[in-house]
Amino acid sequence: MTTAHQPLPQNVEWRTPFDLLRRNATLYPNKLALVAANADGGETRLSYAALSFAIDKAADALRNRGLRPDDHLAILMTNHAAAEYVLIAWGAMRLGAVVVPLNARFAVPELRAAIEDMDCGFLIHESGFDTTVAALNKGDDRFAGRTIRVGADGDWAAVYAAGI
């Protein structure tokens, strides 16, 4: 079966995800944009306006920690921190950094290999990974001052996947 190529209409503008988010924040500021689990064990619900603002705040926080365009940021989180992941990933991408989500089921050697392969200079992790991150940092100062812990107390993307 073949499918005929259908060109886009002339009036379609190419937009980045950030253009679309800003557009929706302007047109539908109070409309629900994100519903996701958070690291506190609850649920985060944000409107388009609140989501855009939160992403800007995340970008500012990452910039203040030294993240710059083209830097590679490793993120080690479970689905229980989906809301934080969205804000951190979009904040990093807004800065022009490359987001490298790590598989939460990887063992330390696999995590280290992915981090080294992608030349990650920054790591953000969920609080449940404190021991794992300590093992990653053992004998390596790669993340000295560049590790950010997220939890109840505290290109575009590179994705490692198996079986593809």
What pLDDT score does 12 carry? 58
End-to-end CA distance of the chain: 24
Please state the domain count of the chain.
1
In a domain, 85, yes or no: yes
Cite the DSSP H helix spans in 11-153.
Answer: 17-27, 48-64, 82-95, 108-117, 130-137
CATH code for position 128: 3.40.50.980
Per-residue model confidence as pLDDT tens digits over 95-106: 999 999 999 999
What pLDDT score does 34 carry? 95
Contact present, 114 and 88 (Cβ < 8 Å): no
Report the distance separating Cα 31 and Cα 87, nearest Å: 18
What pLDDT score does 164 carry? 43
In a domain, 90, yes or no: yes
